A and B are shown apart, each in its own frame.
Chain A
Amino acid sequence: MRTATRIAVKDLKLRLRDRSALIIGIIAPLSLAFIFNLVFGGAFDPTEGIAINYGIVDLDGSEISRSFTTVLEQIEAEGVLELEQFADVESADIEVEGGDLDSYFLLEPGFGQAVTANTPATIKVVGSVDSPTSTQIATSIASQFATGVEATQLAIATTAQVTSTPVSPEFFASLNGDPQSAAFSYRLDDITTATRQLDATTYMAAGMAVFFLFFTVGFGVLGLLEEERQGTLTRLMAAPISRASIVGGKAILSFLLGIISMFVLVVATQVLMGASWGAPLGVALLVIAGVLSAVGIIGLVAAIAKTPEGAGNMSSIIAVILGMLGGVFFQIGQSGDFLSRLTYITPHAWFMRGLADLADGAPWTAALPSVGAILTFALVTGALSWVLLLRRLQR
């Protein structure tokens, strides 16, 4: 054990001096998490500058059409979009073609009259071909307003039918309440906050950290193959050092590199980007288990590969496939049963799941099931690679 530690410490000093480990272990995941956060985090943040520009062309000018403008202005006040009023279609078209406007709403003359007369009415959404997403959002805003109008219409028609009176000014005068209240027979509440999910920043920080972890630990165990090629391994074996100490030393080195990289990343993303990783003890357990599983899996590559280059390539392929399947770039498992089960053959998926379980101030014990699953990976692959690596050294 002491020899193993000595080997690990010697190599650790070497690795810390070599910039490669620093780039892969810390700079790469940190800068990617930062860029992704900038791009994806900023897109929907109203304080980042308003991204969606809508116009309204109200050619009708009725009470109902004006109320639509009011609704849009309310949404504008929330800071989600920017609204501009246009007097005619031509000027709005020019703005859309010039790219200054994503889409505009058009209420043609007679809109209010059609609504009052309970005949078909139309809200037109005219979008730029370059802004399909913004146009889709505009469409759903218009649909919501249309639904409210329809509920009001139906309330009036139903009341008229029940009382057998024609819809007339006298009928409206006889009403006690406001028929628009019919639109409020329900509320559709977004209760997403009631679920434990990682926020986007933490998701990207954690995803990048665990993705690059599998490259970082390679600087340890894969070093065995380099020593084999350079001939230093033969010299080590000629010394009074057990094979277990040599393999153990490389494994400890991998583990230390992984832990250092993860620790720096957790702290740095928390301080610099505002990621919230959750209960420290739970995160620590997940990180330790995650690093162990990475050492086990990459150790297996070291045992099987023939050349250092082959090992490098094989470990990149494995790291990329596991990372992708494990959902470090985007959530896997939305496309039905098969993929959502397949994702759990990766420690990455369990790592992300464990962190999600820790979200919203859950106690550290919430991560335990995931920690257990990751440790199983670590144990199986670790034991297998230990045996295979020792056998490799015997040859």
Chain B
Amino acid sequence: MKALAIGLTNIRRMIRERSNIFFVFIFPIALILLIGAQFGGGVKPLIGVFVADEGQIAEEITDVIESQDSVDIRRFEVREDLVSAVERGQVQAGVFLPAGIETQSAAGEAAEIGFVARPDGTGPQLQAIVGAAVADVMKPVGAAQFASAETDAAFEQTHQVAQDLAGRAGGVDVEVSAVGEALFPDTLGQFDLGASSQLVLFVFLTALAGSAALILTRQLGISSRMLSTPTSVRSIVVGESIGRFGVALVQGLYIVVLTLIIFGVNWGDPIASVLLLVMFSAVGAGAGVLMGSVFSNDQQAGGVGVVVSLGLAALGGSMLPLELFSPTMQTVAHFTPHAWALDAYAELVRHGGTTGDILLELGVLAGYATVLFALAAWRLRIAITRPA
């Protein structure tokens, strides 16, 4: 009972501190919004187009790119302006349509169309979109070049024929389907998987940042004073753990509920999802209490906490999907609790799994939590009973 009181006091102290409100409640949502706006969500990627000289083919390519629903285009009059717009990130990709596409095409030569993208982000997807648009326009050109070479008919004539035939030819479709219980991408929203990576990142970050509060409690002698009352060491250790756990869980639930309401994020089976969050919060809380017991300087604990939580998040697949990790890195990733939690979320969200399907992951997380809490209890007992 006393443990619970200590825990609740901890949660209350956390919520009263204004900067905590920012880091726990405002910052994660702002970041999810920012990343959502950045890599999906409402805003369309912008493709810059530079046309060296007006011509039918260049105009058609621009039109086809413009007609794509998934991108917006901006025209540039000066080549250098487009280059620097890509460099500065004002457009995500640039297409350079050189002078003389028309004459080169008629002469049977290959036109060189330039493409520039940012090395990060959506580059490959945009290249695919641009590539498809260019191919759409250049297929009849290639066909006409071949026909003219074979028949000595003028390029203008064969190009006209090829363009007329283009829509009517058999064509080759690419059809995508999935193996597994759920279908994608139809059921998967833009935010669905990004949101779970942000969730595990922040819950862990906040839990580790909570170690500073525990250090302060010890520094100010609150722990020793609690000991002088009829309160067992055990109650204090459990109470501090409940406090950290409560803070992590409150933040986690807040992110889940808010993203569910605002972005309609799919969190999978509710019972399994909450169970997973509870287990992961316990892991974070265990790590937080452990750090709070081992360090005696809150500035150092803060710095180490940021490194550990961001580092584990990166290694565990919170910043880059685990599927893109090399086999070695995948093995490394599964030393972090983050990777197990993300695997479990993927099971819930992508395969429509329930509690029964994530028992392994829940078990591993429970193992982490048990070991961390045991270590933390041992260290904290020493730290608060040691004469100052």
Alpha-carbon gap, A36 to B49, bound state (A): 33
B321 to chain A, nearest CB (A): 6
B382 sits at the interface (CB 8 A) = no
Indicate if A236 sits at the interface (CB-CB under 8 A): no
Which B residues are CB-close (under 8 A) to A183? 139, 142
Q: Which residues of chain A are near B113, meaning CB under 8 Å?
A: 186-189
Residues in A whose Cβ lies below 8 Å from that of B34: 324, 332, 339
Within 8 A of A (CB), among B135-167: 135, 138-147, 149-151, 153, 157-158, 161-162, 165-166
Count of interface residues, chain B, beta-carbon cutoff 8 Å: 107
Query: A28 to chain B: which residues have CB within 8 Å?
Result: 303-304, 306-307
User: Within the assembled complex, what's the spacing in Å between the Cα atoms of A50 and B173?
Assistant: 28
Q: Is the CB of B174 within 8 A of A194?
A: no
Q: Are A51 and B300 in contact (CB under 8 A)?
A: no
**A23 pairs with B180, CB closer than 8 A:** no
By DSSP majority rule, is chain B's interface helix, strand, loop, or mixed?
helix
Chain A, 225-240, CB within 8 A of any chain B CB = none
Q: Is the CB of A32 within 8 A of B311?
A: yes
Residue B55 at the A interface, CB < 8 A? no
Binds A, one of B86-94, B244-252, B264-272: B86-94
- The answer to whether B176 and A161 have CB atoms under 8 Å apart is no
* CA gap between A295 and B51 in the complex, in Å: 46
**Interfacial chain B residues near A177, Cβ < 8 Å:** 146, 149-150
Q: A39-B315, A177-B150 are in contact. Are A132 and B179 (CB under 8 A)?
A: no
> At the interface, yes or no: A123 with Cβ under 8 Å from chain B?
yes
Please name all residues of chain A whose beta carbon is closer than 8 Å to the beta carbon of B304 when the two chains form the complex: 23, 28
Give the docked Cα–Cα distance between A131 and B184 (Å). 10
Least distance between B72 CB and chain A CB atoms (Å): 9
A181 to B88, CA, bound (A): 38
Chain A residues lying within 8 Å of B321, measured Cβ to Cβ, are 133
Closest to A145 in B: B172
Contact A185 B114 (CB under 8 A): no
Bound form: Cα–Cα A157–B120 in Å: 41
Contact assessment for A158 and B158 in the assembled complex, using a CB-CB cutoff below 8 Å: yes
- Bound Cα distance A133, B39 (Å): 14
Nearest Cβ distance between residue B34 and chain A, in whole angstroms? Answer: 7
Q: How would residues 280 to 303 of chain A score, 1 for a CB under 8 Å from any chain B CB and 0 otherwise?
A: 000000000000000000000000
Interface string of A128-158 (1 = CB under 8 A from B): 1111111111011011111101110111011
Contact A185 B120 (CB under 8 A): no
Q: Does A394 interact with chain B (Cβ within 8 Å)?
A: no
With a cutoff of 8 Å between Cβ atoms, the chain B residues found around residue A35 in the complex are 310-311, 314-315
Tell me the minimal C-beta distance from A312 to chain B in angstroms. 8
Instruction: Tell me how many residues of A have a C-beta within 8 Å of chain B.
Output: 111
Q: Is the CB of A19 within 8 A of B320?
A: no
Give the distance to chain B from A325, nearest Cβ to Cβ, in Å: 9
List A157-205 residues whose CB lies under 8 Å from chain B.
Answer: 157-159, 161-163, 175-177, 179, 181-192, 194-197, 199-200, 203
Which of A36, A135, A182 is the most central at the interface, judged by chain B CB atoms within 10 Å of its CB?
A: A182
Say whether B262 faces chain A, with CB atoms less than 8 Å apart. Answer: no
Which residue in chain B gives the minimum CB-CB distance to A117? B170
Q: Does A61 contact B (CB under 8 A)?
A: no
Distance in angstroms between the alpha carbons of A145 and B306 in the assembled complex: 46
* Residues of chain B within 8 A of A32, CB atoms compared: 306-307, 310-311, 314
- Please, how many angstroms separate the alpha-carbon atoms of A199 and B161 in the complex? 46
B171 part of interface (Cβ distance < 8 Å): yes
Q: What's the nearest-Cβ distance from chain A to residue B192, in Å?
A: 11
Nearest to B139 among chain A residues (CB) is A151
Whether A196 pairs with B173 at a CB distance below 8 angstroms is no
If the complex has contacts A128-B180, A334-B45, are A161 and B161 also in contact, measured as CB distance less than 8 A?
yes
B111 lies within 8 A of A48 (CB)? no
Residues of A within 8 A of B327 (CB): 49, 51
Partner of A129 from B147, B171, B350 at Cβ < 8 Å: B350
- Chain B residue nearest in CB terms to A149: B172
27 contacts between A and B (CB under 8 A): A38-B329, A39-B319, A48-B328, A122-B174, A124-B174, A151-B135, A151-B142, A153-B170, A154-B162, A154-B166, A154-B169, A158-B147, A176-B150, A177-B149, A182-B146, A185-B141, A185-B145, A186-B112, A187-B110, A187-B111, A188-B127, A188-B131, A203-B120, A215-B303, A320-B23, A334-B89, A340-B88
Listed from nearest, the 5 A-B pairs whose CB atoms lie closest are A185-B142, A313-B19, A182-B142, A129-B180, A146-B172
